[in-house]
Structure 1
Amino acid sequence: MNEHAYDRMLRIKTSSGLQALSGSVHQNRYEATPYDALEVLVEEYELKWTDDLVDYGCGKGRVSFFLHHHFQLTVTGVDVNGHLYQESLENQASYMQKVKKTTGSVLFERCLAEEYGVERAQNKFYFFNPFSIQIFMKVVNNILRSVEQEPRAVDLILYYPTSEYLQFLHDRTAFELFMEVRVPKRYEQDENERFVIFRLL
């Protein structure tokens, strides 16, 4: 199924390519995770309806809706961009008309990622390089503080991970590499075309 067909099936609009964010050096441009990559992820990586996932830099909400559709889990999308936030809310209204009765939920919050208050039930965290390593470090430290207050296993799911993100997690946190999911259908020669999942037990 192509990008537009998936959008139609979910009753959302996320297939408009790259969009610039603010002029901040810490905010990367918005780019939706490709649907064919997400298909590979859900085949290889198990999520449950009891999971509670945060999608950092969610943009228009593609990952949030896709994962909720597949697993009926609770997802919270976080983005600082007002225009993208508004589009995610419009997508939410359309998507909820489609799903009607469901477990889990799809919510969106507009705020700086480093100011988002991680909730005690949240145990999965998704990143597609939404911001600089400085912001990523603050976000991960917020997650770790939440785990100190409410001990639980948590996963960080990174798509197309940067070497800076990986080095920080390897060298300066207690997270351990749990699994790697390659995306062979897209660009076979691109070593970064993969999901890397880090787990903290």
Structure 2
Amino acid sequence: MAKAKTSAVHVEAFADHHVITPPNPLRGVLRAVDDKDRDDPIARAERALAGLSGEFDAWMASECERLRAAHAAILKDGFSKATRDELFRAAHDIKGDATTFGYPTASVAAESLCRIIEHAPQLDQVPAELIANHIKAILAIVREHAQIDKAGVEHELSRRLRAVADEYLAAVNHDRPEHLEAILSPGIAPAE
């Protein structure tokens, strides 16, 4: 397909500056659309998301199983690069997916777990209960979401986990200022 010939660059000279306007090759391919024919990509995306929403619980259950399996591998074989990376990826995926799937507080707890994995100087020195409690909290939030959401339990659980994790990380990173800055910054997961 032959390219349409583009017009030349247009230069307007002023006393103290020049305005250079490059050619716009898209001008020839655009067309006007009636208001009744306009596409609303946000509305289209929301409809697609609503169509998939029936799958969200199954997807979260699958993500939780992956997290549980990663933790079981660590309990069995200890921390290695592979087991650490799998635990991090599982928690990170939950952090990213949970809010979209309707579990925003699971996202907060997963973010806290990711922070532990990222910022603990020696992951094998992290109290096993701290990691286990994060995993148990994520699993409980997903499993009992409909019941505990009403009582606000999951928000308080996520908030306390984050506080304990931050306290631990601040203590073990007292001599690592580059990590302290990241630890003391607010989380990116919506805490509501």
Judging by fraction of residues, say which structure has more strand: 1
Structure with greater contact order relative to length (CA < 8 Å, sep ≥ 6) = 1
State the TM-score, normalized to the length of structure 2: 0.26
Superposition TM-score, scaled by structure 1 size: 0.25
- Which of 1 and 2 has greater Rg? 2
Write 1 or 2 for the structure with the bigger share of helix.
2
